[in-house]
A and B are shown apart, each in its own frame.
Chain A
């Protein structure tokens, strides 16, 4: 199956700082999603972004499909942003391939 790599694996930020998370994928994809998994295990879809740029409040995402990567930007981070961020791609099959995630810890 398609390979999805995320970096960095771990990130510690002071509250208020900005960050960029990266997702590289090994093949053409039909779709790409970013998820946030909270400490209780709940996965929440943040963006559905096969290409281009989207913004939602303090979060934005950019996917460059021709170069097979996506970036998630978090600005003015808050402690509630802590958790694991996953990139997941859909590549023809009826399922998502997930990366191993970036664990973000925001400290006050």
Chain B
């Protein structure tokens, strides 16, 4: 299983850009990197997924260096509603890989006014 390591917590202020880094030194060749967001009393929800270089969608960007041993989730201009726990997950994109990736303890992001 690809183990991931993230900072336990981060603080930011409204309007700032936030970068959360995840380490995954034993990532496999066919593994993708996926980030999830979880609000209190809710299940996690998908934010972004990528394999290499940079991926951008309407809510975030994901930067993956060439060696793929880490990744950085970038949240532009955060607001109070972005206060949540963010999880990095490494695994394959197929049902045959189900259960072969694990959620770590995540990063608790607190956005202050």
The answer to whether A and B belong to the same complex is no
Q: Which residues in B have some Cβ–Cβ distance to A below 8 Å?
A: none
Query: Which residues from chain A sit less than 8 Å from chain B, CB to CB?
Result: none
